[in-house]
Structure 1
């Protein structure tokens, strides 16, 4: 995992990013055992698992993000997944909550095999958001003008599709795919809530000085729609087992 731009907005990340769905945490709880939560951030998934009694160690490359996770009661070590020295420790479950896409897949597959006990599992978790057509149209006009390089995560795309076994580095590396599940929810986000969460995503953070004017116009577009948008969230869980 390389250097990510989240540390400077760690408090905002912790405040505005959603916790994992309860039924997803139910499934992780049933897996049991010791957990390494890779790229744990401020501890959203780690806290949810620890509250169910799982023994969770967080691994996070950014000290500022890790400090917040530690403040939530999570034991965290600093490092990237590719280079971290585990000191011979192994785990029953590796979780990647919106973090697998930051890992070098070739190195990550080898590291996962090294860090898991026989029969251990990898759980990759990621979120997809979909807005209703009127909101997509309004926001697309803003993004095409101010940040055309961003692929909006509220529009379905192949990048957010479930993992396909024939194109999965873990499967190619000898892991057995178990299943992919999805968990759906929906709710309304105010203009303030929408821009606050969007501004914590890596593709927005990389805009630098262009972020503030973009978020101002996104906010205005949502206000023109009535002050809020309905957001449909799908959370995916892809499980694979070490043979």
Structure 2
């Protein structure tokens, strides 16, 4: 994983990243995930997906290689442990669900997939999850996309290249999701992206000025809406 890409971004993650919809858990339960069973959340970050399952009564181990992100998860009382998608440090056949939310694209995918299968019990579910930003459809979203391209610190086409359905036999489901954000929330959401300037840098200050002008043009009642296509891919270990 690209561990250091997310150093210095934990606070922005906590403030700006969207939660995952409850429908994700509902969908997996329809496909046999039993309430109260063991979930392993790999590349857990600050624990957004972990908390979704904990609130529904699941036992969850969160694996996160970045120390700052892991510390934020520990602050919620999460069982967050050091490790990576390619090497979780967990025993064989220990999970009823192996979950990887918003992180699989940063991993060595063949090695990570082999590790997911190793720690999954026979018949367990393996799931990949993303909150994908909707990038068009309103003037706000289209102007925001142009702003991201102007201020990105690396090529967005590379940074957002994600092979999601590489593995055979995966099913998929889509769920609408959205955030209502004030300016500070929107700024944190943008700064949480690993390819945007980090908080506290001159580049971030310039981006924030540009973003404020965009926000003021489109805010209603002091907020803007950020819609997402939440995509779940899953399969079952033989």
TM beyond 0.5: yes
Match of 1:64 in 2: 68
For residues 58 and 232 of structure 2, the distance between their equivalents in structure 1, rounded to whole angstroms, comes to 18
Are residues 152 and 18 of structure 1, via their aligned partners in 2, closer, same or farther at CA, if it must alter by over 3 Å?
farther
Are residues 3 and 241 of structure 1, via their aligned partners in 2, closer, same or farther at CA, if it must alter by over 3 Å?
same
- Residues 36-47 of structure 1 correspond to what in structure 2 (within 5 A)? 36-47=40-51
Count of paired positions: 229
* Residue in structure 1 matching 2:139, options 111, 134, 139: 134
Match of 1:5 in 2: 5
Q: Does 1:237 align with 2:232?
A: yes
Q: Deviations over 1:199-222 (max 9, x none)?
A: 111121479652331232122122
- Residues 33-182 of structure 1 correspond to what in structure 2 (within 5 A)? 33-88=37-92, 90-130=94-134, 131-147=136-152, 149-151=155-157, 159=161, 163-164=164-165, 168=166, 170-171=167-168, 176-177=169-170, 179-182=171-174
- How big is the alpha-carbon RMSD for the aligned residues of Structure 1 and Structure 2? 2.8
**5+ residue gaps, structure 2:** none
- Residues 210-229 of structure 1 correspond to what in structure 2 (within 5 A)? 210-226=203-219, 228-229=223-224
Q: 1:108 aligns to what SS in structure 2? A: helix
Q: By how many angstroms is 1:68 displaced?
A: 1.8
Decide whether the 8 Å contact of 2:20 with 2:131 is kept in 1: no
Question: What's the TM-score once normalised by structure 1's chain length?
Answer: 0.81
For residues 202 and 40 of structure 1, the distance between their equivalents in structure 2, rounded to whole angstroms, comes to 15
Are residues 2 and 219 of structure 1, via their aligned partners in 2, closer, same or farther at CA, if it must alter by over 3 Å?
same
Instruction: Answer 1 or 2: which has greater strand percent.
Output: 1
Q: By how many angstroms is 1:83 displaced?
A: 2.7
Match of 1:197 in 2: 189
Q: More displaced, 5-14 or 110-119?
A: 5-14
Are residues 199 and 56 of structure 1, via their aligned partners in 2, closer, same or farther at CA, if it must alter by over 3 Å?
same
